[in-house]
Amino acid sequence: MTTWETRKRRKADLSRRIAEGRDDAGYCRIVGCTQRTPAARGTGLSRRACRAHEDHYGRHGSYTHGSFTSKALAPHRQAAEAWLAAHHADPAVMRGVLGVHAQYAAAGQHLPATRLAGLPPFVRCRAAWARLRDAKVPPVDVLAAWLAVAATIASDPGADRHGEFRQVQAAKLLHRMASGTHRRWERSGPGGSLEVTELHKYPASRGRVLRHLGEQLERVAEAVAALFMAEREQAGNQ
């Protein structure tokens, strides 16, 4: 082998090792991000993305797309609620409503948000259903949340198309629909004045509980969503 060929081969090897090394050496895989992963830094386990991107993923269900605001969701929620009202006697919608009732019935006792920290995600997920039930959120509104998120994603060309993003966004909307735990203490202060202490605690809207809640919502609402989205698409094409 000539020196020239050897050098060329070595150069190619080196380029390949550097290219592979970029993954192995643990850089964040999000395009444009130059941070190293927690695994590479020895500060965590993630080999996929840097800490900031993992954190974003935990909160929003997407590495890059933020959560939808109430304002962005509002027109789609209204459209979903109107559609559900017009289709309330449709067997798929009736089954969906029964599915939400079943989640409510299986959710068990209401746990105050102040006691949820540190409990496993499936327990916190049940508590989220119990909160919706006890806040008397109509099951049809729970279905509307899933439909609204599906429609918002469909009408946003830049939205994350992964199923997990849809699940997390819908679960966040459910979290917003159920109130947190609110407490109020009154006691008499000096000179007979009334001292009021209030505590407002909302469950943290992030992490695995959102995935569980979103998955369960998808299971009860996906057949309804398929009908809604098909009709929505037809109307859009006319």
The nearest distance, CB 31 to Zn ion, in angstroms, is 9
Cβ closest to Zn ion, residue 33 vs residue 40 = 33
Distance CA 205, CA 147 (A): 20
For residues 167 and 146, give the distance between their C-alpha atoms in angstroms, rounded to a whole number: 8
Q: How many residues bind Zn ion (CB under 5 A)?
A: 6
Binding mask 177-206 for Zn ion (x = CB under 5 A): ------------------------------
CB-nearer residue toward Zn ion: 28 or 143: 28
User: In angstroms, what is the minimal distance from the CB of 22 to Zn ion?
Assistant: 13
Cβ closer to Zn ion: 56 or 166? 56
Nearest to Zn ion of 33, 227 (CB atom): 33
Going from the C-alpha of 74 to that of each of 39, 60, 69, 109, 172, the distances in angstroms are: 40, 18, 9, 31, 14
- 15-74: which residues touch Zn ion (CB under 5 A)? 28, 30, 33, 35, 50, 53
CB of 57 to Zn ion, least distance (A): 10
Buried b (16+ CB within 10 A) or exposed e, 22-46: eeeebbbebeeeebbbbebeeeeeb
CB of 90 to Zn ion, least distance (A): 44
Of 53 and 126, the one with the shorter C-beta distance to Zn ion is 53
Q: How far is the CB of 83 from Zn ion (least distance, A)?
A: 39
Which residue, 31 or 235, has its beta carbon nearer to Zn ion?
A: 31
Least Cβ distance, residue 55 to Zn ion (angstroms):
10
- Asked if residues 155 and 76 have their Cβ atoms less than 8 Å apart, the reply is yes
Query: Which residues are at the interface with Zn ion (CB under 5 A)?
Result: 28, 30, 33, 35, 50, 53
